[in-house]
Every structure is written in C-alpha cells, then in structure tokens.
Structure 1
C-alpha cells in the first residue's frame, strides 16, 4: 500500500471525505490517505498528524517523495493539537483506532472542532461508544460504510454538526448500516450471532448466579441481533 494505491479499508474511508475540503488526518500512518486525496484532487490542503516521532518522520518522508510538500504538512503532536488556526480546516479524519480512543481524542481537543464541518471516522472496534460520543456532542451521522479487509470487518462513518437521537439498536448497529443491510453487514452479525450461540450453549448448564446473569445478557443481545436481521 502507498499513497497511490490504498487498501480497501482506506479506499472506503477516502470515499467519505467530501470533495474540496481542507483536512486534518489524525494518526496519519505514512500520510497515505491525505496523499491519495490530494493526488486525486479531492482535497486542497491537509495536515498529517502523528503523536510519535517515528510515524511523523515516515509521513514527512512520504509527503516529500510524493512531491506534495506544498499541499500536505506533517506535524508532530497529540491528537487535535496539530490543528492550527492558520490552517482553516473544515474536516478531520481519524482511522484505524478503537472507537473509545477516537472518542477520547475528539474529547481532548473538542475546542479544535469549532469550524469543523465534517468528521470522517473509522473505528476498528468500539463503534457504539463512538456513536454515543457523537450524539452527546452534537454531531449527526449522515453516511456509513462497511468493508472487509484481511479477515476483519470495518465500519466507518461521516458525521456533521447537528442533533440525532439514536435508538439502542442504531447505536449498536449504525443507523444507516442497519437500514442498508448490505450482504457484508448481514454476514458480520450472523457470525456474531453464531459466536454468542456457542457461549450460550456453554453457559446454559451453569447454575452460578454471575454466569446466569451473563447468559441473560447474551440472550438479550442475540434477540437484538435477530430483530435487526429479520
């Protein structure tokens, strides 16, 4: 993978970035995403942010090799600290981290989100927690995608300033993903249903109170999945 040829995951993330924005890509991982977006004339200017020196130097090197130093700046800093007023950014992307970590990054730098019109987020896990954070902090989800890569299924979303009131099912499954019900979405949750069914079978004969409580929670979760898939 490189800036010209993105992985299926990052390619899908790139499709969520609105055309013509000025972007901060947090945890930029060699700056592949901003490089691709600038090369394809989708983004006018980008900041590639990294919290550790090694990845920061990698991003800087990739930007220079691509001849895009005029359009992309690599910056070393913690989360949204890399955003400066002079950048006039209107979009932030964070991909390839857990949903709780993404939420923490957004929370820690929430003052930097003033003037940001688009959040492009791809959590590896913890999607529910991230949707919860967006709802609490006045962002609404306007698009969601799901993609498979290397035996893992990734969910990603585009959020804009606004209000939303998600149901427990929408928080868990994604308000747009559960309406689309793509083949991959159905496959993912059928696999989860199968996994929970095996756990349920193991716990069924256990009289321990804690195990029975766990069993009840699993049965509730299975019922929720079955309702969404039906």
Structure 2
C-alpha cells in the first residue's frame, strides 16, 4: 500500500498531512491512509481510531499485514477518545463522514481534552461542509486550505485548518461555499453547485405544494438559491 494506491479522495487528504507528523486518523477505513503515509515515510507515528468492532479489526489486520504494528496503534474508541496524551498528536484526519458528525467529534474532543488546538485538522465531510466551517470559525481556527475533487460520480471537499492566533471572520456565504473554493471557483466547484441548484429547486417546488408551507424552510432555501445563482452567473 502506497500513496499511489489510495483513492483520489484520500490522496488529497494525505497531501495536507505535514511531513513528519504524528497523526490521528479517526474513522480510519482499514487504516489505508496512515499505512500509505507511513510507507511513504511521510509520518512518524499514527493512531487509528474506530468506534465499531468490524472496522477496528480490519484496521488491525491491515497494519499487521504491512508490518507497521510498532508505528501505528489501532484503538477501539469513540472519536478523539482514541488519542492519549503520550501520543503527542499534531495532525488529525477525519474523512468520509457527515459534517455534523465531524463537528460533534471535534467538539467532544475539545471538551474531553484530546483536542489541544495545536493540531492541524484535515477534514473531508461527505455532506454538511458548512457545519464544519461554522465550528472551525467559532473555535478560532483558520481555514488555510481547501480542495474539491470529483471521484466515482461524487464530489468531495477537503478542509484544512489550524489555530494560527488570527481570528478568521467568514461571511455567511464563505461558510456555505468555502472561502478558498469560492475565490477559485474551479470547474468541479461549479459542477457541484449546478447540481445543488437543481436539487434545491426540486425541494422548493415540493415544499411550496405542501398544505402547510414551512415558511422558514422555504426562505432559507430561497436564500441559498440566490447565493448559488449569483456564484454561477459570475
């Protein structure tokens, strides 16, 4: 297993991990990412956290098969509870979950003391990216990098953040679209929001046919549609 054998999505996540990092990979998916990064000599130590027994055993098997049991620890734990103080983690990857769940994992890790604020966060939400950005801004993190990619007919966003000491003030639109992605507006970004526009229009049509129209929900969707239209027309 090397970086070339990772999915494109995990390759982009891996590229944002600093050279020589001590990594915690939460929800590790067979430990593919830490194994690939260790074999590429990019990281020096890793913790793989899994909350379900099946994936936990799969990760253990992958690490053992790769001969990395001395350098990669696999733990059965909920979220950042997989991290112990002696691990000295300075990078955390959370990929392939919903944005609300990622934000909850980070919040719980902060409350329980596993998230110190010294780690680089590399986050790849499958949906609800705005929830992740909102949490990062609220907690004083700066989004230093964002990426967007298409793979297997799905579009993924990768958000990289650090506590830099500079409070980042994002507008509502920047939280929604992503400050770096909004500035760049590449072809994958435009494709994503064309698809979202069509999906939201369908939802709006259905809501407006309801016997009791949920006015707040309709207003929120109309606001998002106006933002999307503005971004696509520029």
Fold equivalence (TM over 0.5): yes
Which residue is equivalent to 1:60?
Answer: 60
Q: TM-score, normalised by structure 2?
A: 0.90
Q: Against the structure 1 CA distance between its residues 213 and 25, is the aligned structure 2 distance closer, same or farther, given a 3 Å change threshold?
A: closer
Whether the 8 Å CA contact 1:47–1:74 is kept in 2: the answer is: yes
Whether the 8 Å CA contact 1:119–1:158 is kept in 2: the answer is: yes
Question: How many residues are treated as equivalent by the alignment?
Answer: 228
Give the drift of 1:115: 5.4
More divergent stretch after superposition (172-181 vs 108-117) = 108-117
Counterpart CA distance in 2 for 1:101 and 1:3 is: 28
Q: TM-score, normalised by structure 1?
A: 0.91
SS, match of residue 28 in structure 2: coil
1:85-107 per-residue CA deviation (whole Å, 9 max, x = no partner) reads 11111111100000110111111
Which residue is equivalent to 1:69?
Answer: 69
Establish whether residue 226 from structure 1 lines up as the match of residue 210 from structure 2: no
Establish whether residue 96 from structure 1 lines up as the match of residue 96 from structure 2: yes
Q: Against the structure 1 CA distance between its residues 100 and 88, is the aligned structure 2 distance closer, same or farther, given a 3 Å change threshold?
A: same
Whether the 8 Å CA contact 2:207–2:213 is kept in 1: the answer is: no
Establish whether residue 167 from structure 1 lines up as the match of residue 138 from structure 2: no
Give the drift of 1:196: 2.9
Counterpart CA distance in 2 for 1:191 and 1:8 is: 21
Task: Write out aligned runs for 1:188-207 (5 A).
Answer: 188-200=192-204, 206=209
Q: Against the structure 1 CA distance between its residues 36 and 221, is the aligned structure 2 distance closer, same or farther, given a 3 Å change threshold?
A: same
1:177-223 per-residue CA deviation (whole Å, 9 max, x = no partner) reads 1111110001110122223334455666x595616665444332211
Counterpart CA distance in 2 for 1:56 and 1:213 is: 42
Task: Write out aligned runs for 1:45-56 (5 A).
Answer: 45-56=45-56
Which residue is equivalent to 2:125?
Answer: 123
Counterpart CA distance in 2 for 1:203 and 1:104 is: 29
More divergent stretch after superposition (110-119 vs 33-42) = 110-119
Whether the 8 Å CA contact 1:24–1:48 is kept in 2: the answer is: yes
SS, match of residue 109 in structure 1: helix
More divergent stretch after superposition (81-90 vs 209-218) = 209-218
Give the drift of 1:165: 1.0
1:96-140 per-residue CA deviation (whole Å, 9 max, x = no partner) reads 000110111111111211153300100011111111111111111
More divergent stretch after superposition (143-152 vs 169-178) = 143-152
Counterpart CA distance in 2 for 1:85 and 1:201 is: 52
> Which structure 2 segments of 5+ residues have no match?
none
SS, match of residue 112 in structure 1: coil
Which residue is equivalent to 1:79?
Answer: 79
